[in-house]
């Protein structure tokens, strides 16, 4: 792990930012909350959370709020509820069934569907019956590998409805990555599609599942949505068409309530070892924080807002702010299937104008891509419906923030830069629109009850202005409950760095105003285009190639992607370093993990820089990858010639 002090330099650069953007009087006057909420919620955050939880539909009301036996939290544990009822049924029951829940926009132009809350309830009910007919029971895990189509939302909520724990796998993952997750979670059911549209072409999904399931003989049933009409191979008895099975089911389904701590879903994410971690989220606590943060952070007016979170439902952002947050609030969601630059780089702005999107939430890497494509694409559209913008996934560089503020928000929309993680489930640190003055690059202040601490190597609190490791002190409702099937790894991964504190894996600091600046990961996890990639996973994919003897993967700062993946590889004796082999290795990683992990750069080396005890010195590799001259302490380095050779072959 990199010592926190090494991040000081990066934070230093950020701290030269001193622009402040107070909320406009007009926005503040119309906002759903005002500054008094800080005092109110901070008086007793636990009681405040209990009050928020009561806004959901409970079958049996809870009487206890929090049971906390470090590191295991139980929120609202004696209450029972059904997440799909809180997200859908209760809005229909309240007479809001005709309100649009989902404006779905397919990638091919003109391909769109509007689904009301009443329609959504029918679809979820039918899917719940279909899953039951396939043998899915409460407590089973169901893998969902779908494009961004309405069935993804329906499948998630149908699982929730019958108490099956869903595990959504991002559609960009390769067969091996799918199989690893299905096996780890012991999922016996899969929901997928023939394919989905991406950049004007139909991309196949079913073959990836077929391939993955060769390693997963326990999978009993696969439900397949027909989206593109591509040819598919069929396993009789195992595979079922969605349109045949689901659409034939009864339109009403009696939902059962489950205990608040019942696992709603598992979301796999990368860590410091090659094996992805199955982050387990609860029902009551998770949904409470998803609903509350959605409502307050995005200033939701459920009757009029149209909320677009551009993330895929295959990631936590999609779970919390495409599905559970907005639907539990009864808001209208905009969901888009495809690429931001299809057919032209102004597709997003076209969608915003066409559908009157009011709240737009995206990632800095996307903002930087829009900047690169040019302002003219933006200026063709009015964007006048927008009233609030959000950012998530990585630190936003001040240039991108200013561009977002000026070109997209027309200087009138507050920007909420929200810090959180797959593990935290929901937003943790964020400005509140209409209340908090924002500063480009800072995610500003903790949400209620969240207590971030910046600590040094010895576990001492670092004074304001100083950089350190980011920890969270108190439990919060949507915190991960454990790693699927591995309490020990959960304890070790998050709670052993400083006992009693959750270790976030990020480096950060507070500025003089008490605003938080998150710099990025300080463990061996990279953030490439907002996707979290473990270097160990990529290394393990590389060494699975017959030519590779040893591999080390590091991040290199990249203007567009945030970080680029640079791989240093030593070859086995009978292989020669050749440009074709570089291409093969890049393709090999994409095939093993998915194209999101395709290395940007592969460099062959005769040896990797190691300490005398044989540990790869990543710090040196990072400096070489960044094109810098290796500085700092190299006294523990085993062989100086290795560094000289690596630097000499720089492109
Ligand atoms: C990591 C979590 C949160 C959902 C999407 C990513 C980085 C996230 C910010 C932000 C600076 C951020 C952190 C964090 N990160 N949001 N606003 N400012 N950094 O979820 O894949 O679990 O990644 O993303 O490094 O640890 P994830």
62-81 burial code (b ≥16 CB/10 A, e <16): beebbeeeebbbbbbbebbb
CA separation, residue 532 to residues 270, 365, 504, 529, 562 (Å): 6, 13, 13, 8, 11
Q: Is 521 in the pocket of ligand 1 (CB under 6 A)?
A: yes
Q: What is the mean pLDDT of residues 581-595?
A: 96
303-342 burial code (b ≥16 CB/10 A, e <16): eebbbbbbbbbbbbbbbbbbbbbbbbbbbbbbbbbbebbb
Q: pLDDT per residue over 367-377, tens digit each?
A: 999 999 999 99
Residue 429's nearest CA partner among 445, 442, 441, 416 is: 445
CB atoms inside a 10 Å sphere around CB 293? 25
| Distance between CA atoms of residues 127 and 521, nearest Å | 39
Sheet holding 100-105, edge to edge: 112-116, 100-105, 332-336, 306-309, 359-362, 388-392, 415-418
Q: pLDDT per residue over 34-81, tens digit each?
A: 889 999 999 999 999 999 999 999 999 999 999 999 999 999 999 999
Q: What is the mean pLDDT of residues 598-608?
A: 93
Atom of ligand 1 nearest to the CA of 505: 26
DSSP state, 420?
A: -
> What pLDDT score does 329 carry?
98
Share of the chain above pLDDT 70, in %: 95
On the question of pLDDT at 7 being above 70, the answer is no
Q: What is the mean pLDDT of residues 250-262?
A: 98
On the question of pLDDT at 1 being above 90, the answer is no
R_g over Cα of the chain: 24
Q: What is the mean pLDDT of the chain?
A: 94
Strand-pairing partners, residue 563, are 557
| Distance between CA atoms of residues 577 and 598, nearest Å | 19
On the question of pLDDT at 649 being above 70, the answer is no
CB 430 within 8 A of CB 418: yes
Q: pLDDT per residue over 418-457, tens digit each?
A: 999 999 999 999 999 999 999 999 999 999 999 999 999 9
Q: pLDDT per residue over 539-584, tens digit each?
A: 999 999 999 999 999 999 999 999 999 999 999 999 999 999 999 9
Centre of ligand 1 to C-alpha 168, Å, is 19
> What pLDDT score does 503 carry?
97
On the question of pLDDT at 166 being above 50, the answer is yes
Q: Is 534 in the pocket of ligand 1 (CB under 6 A)?
A: no
Q: pLDDT per residue over 452-492, tens digit each?
A: 999 999 999 999 999 999 999 999 999 999 999 999 999 99
Q: pLDDT per residue over 357-407, tens digit each?
A: 999 999 999 999 999 999 999 999 999 999 999 999 999 999 999 999 999
CB atoms inside a 10 Å sphere around CB 214? 9
pLDDT band at 5 (very low <50, low <70, confident <90, very high): very low
Q: pLDDT per residue over 293-309, tens digit each?
A: 999 999 999 999 999 99
CA separation, residue 612 to residues 3, 282, 570, 604, 615 (Å): 19, 46, 18, 22, 7
> What pLDDT score does 319 carry?
98
Q: pLDDT per residue over 10-24, tens digit each?
A: 555 555 677 899 999
Q: pLDDT per residue over 131-155, tens digit each?
A: 999 999 999 999 999 999 999 999 9
Q: Is 421 in the pocket of ligand 1 (CB under 6 A)?
A: yes
Centre of ligand 1 to C-alpha 651, Å, is 31
User: What are the φ and ψ backbone dihedral angles of 356, each rounded to 5 degrees?
Assistant: 65, 40
* CB-neighbour burial class of residue 384 (10 A; exposed 0-12, middle 13-18, buried 19+): exposed
On the question of pLDDT at 331 being above 60, the answer is yes
Provide the residue count of the chain.
Answer: 651
CB 417 within 8 A of CB 431: yes
By alpha-carbon position, which residue is closest to atom 5 of ligand 1?
A: 393
On the question of pLDDT at 493 being above 70, the answer is yes
> What pLDDT score does 6 carry?
47
CB 501 within 8 A of CB 70: no
Residue 351's nearest CA partner among 396, 314, 382 is: 382
CB 260 within 8 A of CB 63: no
By alpha-carbon position, which residue is closest to atom 17 of ligand 1?
A: 419
Which has more confidence, 42 or 183? 183
| Distance between CA atoms of residues 408 and 404, nearest Å | 5
User: What are the φ and ψ backbone dihedral angles of 222, each rounded to 5 degrees?
Assistant: -125, 125
Residue 282's nearest CA partner among 259, 267, 261 is: 261
DSSP state, 357?
A: -
By alpha-carbon position, which residue is closest to atom 25 of ligand 1?
A: 520
Q: At what angle do helices 535-543 and 579-592 cross, to 10 degrees?
A: 120
> What pLDDT score does 614 carry?
81
The three-class DSSP label of residue 533 is strand
> What pLDDT score does 3 carry?
45
User: What are the φ and ψ backbone dihedral angles of 568, each rounded to 5 degrees?
Assistant: -105, 125
| Distance between CA atoms of residues 189 and 316, nearest Å | 21
By alpha-carbon position, which residue is closest to atom 12 of ligand 1?
A: 394
CB 240 within 8 A of CB 135: no
Mutate to test the pocket of ligand 1, among 322, 400, 504, 518 (most ligand atoms within 8 A of CB): 518
DSSP state, 407?
A: I
Centre of ligand 1 to C-alpha 423, Å, is 10
CB 349 within 8 A of CB 377: yes
Residues contacting residue 412 through CB under 8 Å, at least 6 positions apart? 24, 27, 387
> What pLDDT score does 640 carry?
67
Centre of ligand 1 to C-alpha 90, Å, is 32
Q: Is 506 in the pocket of ligand 1 (CB under 6 A)?
A: yes
pLDDT band at 2 (very low <50, low <70, confident <90, very high): very low
pLDDT band at 94 (very low <50, low <70, confident <90, very high): very high
Atom of ligand 1 nearest to the CA of 396: 18
């Amino acid at each position: 792990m990199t010592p926190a002090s090494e991040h000081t330099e990066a934070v230093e650069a950020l701290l030269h930012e001193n622009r402040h953007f107070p909320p406009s009087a007009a926005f503040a006057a119309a906002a759903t909350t005002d500054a008094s909420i800080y005092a109110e919620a901070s008086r007793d955050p636990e009681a405040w959370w209990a009050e928020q939880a009561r806004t959901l539909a409970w079958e049996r009301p809870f009487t206890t709020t929090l049971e906390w036996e470090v590191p295991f939290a139980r929120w609202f544990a004696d209450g029972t509820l059904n997440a799909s009822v809180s997200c859908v049924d209760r809005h229909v029951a309240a007479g809001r069934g005709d309100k649009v829940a989902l404006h779905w926009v397919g990638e091919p132009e003109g391909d769109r569907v509007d689904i009301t809350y009443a329609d959504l309830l029918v679809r979820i009910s039918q899917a719940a019956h279909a899953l039951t007919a396939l043998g899915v029971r409460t407590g089973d895990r169901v893998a969902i590998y779908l494009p961004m189509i309405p069935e993804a939302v329906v499948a998630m909520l149908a699982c929730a409805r019958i108490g099956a724990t869903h595990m959504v796998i991002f559609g960009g993952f390769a067969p091996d990555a799918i199989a690893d997750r299905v096996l780890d979670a012991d999922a016996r059911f899969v929901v997928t599609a023939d394919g989905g549209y991406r950049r004007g072409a139909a991309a196949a999904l079913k073959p990836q599942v077929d391939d993955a399931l060769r390693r997963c003989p326990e999978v009993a049933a696969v439900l397949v949505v027909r989206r593109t009409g591509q040819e598919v191979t069929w396993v009789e008895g195992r595979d079922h068409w969605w349109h045949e099975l689901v659409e034939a089911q009864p339109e009403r389904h009696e939902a059962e309530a489950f205990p608040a701590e019942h696992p709603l879903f598992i979301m796999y994410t990368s860590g410091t070892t090659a094996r992805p971690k199955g982050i387990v989220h609860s029902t009551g606590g998770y949904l409470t924080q998803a609903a509350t943060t959605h409502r307050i952070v995005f200033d939701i007016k459920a009757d009029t807002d149209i909320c677009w979170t551009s993330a895929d439902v295959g990631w936590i952002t999609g779970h919390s702010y495409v599905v559970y947050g907005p639907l539990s609030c009864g808001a209208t969601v905009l969901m888009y299937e495809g690429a931001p630059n299809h057919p032209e780089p102004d597709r997003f702005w076209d969608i915003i104008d066409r559908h009157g999107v009011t709240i737009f939430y995206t990632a800095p890497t996307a903002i930087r891509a829009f900047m690169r494509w040019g302002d003219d694409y933006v200026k063709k559209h009015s964007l006048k419906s927008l009233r609030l913008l959000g950012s998530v996934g990585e630190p936003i560089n001040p240039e991108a923030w200013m561009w977002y503020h000026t070109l997209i928000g027309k200087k009138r929309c507050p920007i909420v830069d929200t810090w959180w993680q797959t593990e935290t489930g929901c937003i943790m640190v964020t400005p509140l629109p209409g209340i908090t003055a924002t500063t480009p690059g800072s995610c500003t202040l903790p949400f209620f009850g969240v207590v971030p601490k910046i600590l040094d190597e010895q576990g001492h609190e670092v004074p304001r202005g100083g950089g350190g490791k980011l920890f969270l002190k108190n439990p919060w409702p949507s915190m991960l409950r454990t790693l699927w099937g591995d309490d020990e790894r959960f304890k070790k991964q998050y709670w052993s760095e400083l006992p009693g504190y959750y270790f976030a894996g990020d480096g950060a600091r507070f500025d003089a105003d008490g605003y938080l600046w998150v710099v990025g990961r300080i463990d061996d996890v990279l953030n490439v285009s907002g996707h979290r990639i473990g270097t160990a996973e990529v290394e393990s994919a590389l060494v699975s190639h017959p030519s590779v003897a040893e591999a080390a993967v590091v991040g290199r700062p990249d203007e567009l992607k945030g970080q680029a993946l640079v791989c240093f590889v030593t070859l086995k004796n009978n292989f020669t370093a050749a440009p074709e082999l570089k291409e093969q290795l890049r393709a090999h990683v994409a095939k093993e993990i998915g194209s999101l992990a395709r290395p940007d750069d592969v460099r062959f080396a005769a040896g990797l820089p190691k300490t005398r005890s044989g540990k790869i010195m990543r710090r040196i590799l990072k400096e070489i990858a960044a094109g810098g001259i290796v500085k700092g302490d190299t006294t523990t380095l085993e062989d100086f010639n290795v560094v000289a050779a690596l630097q000499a072959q720089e492109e």
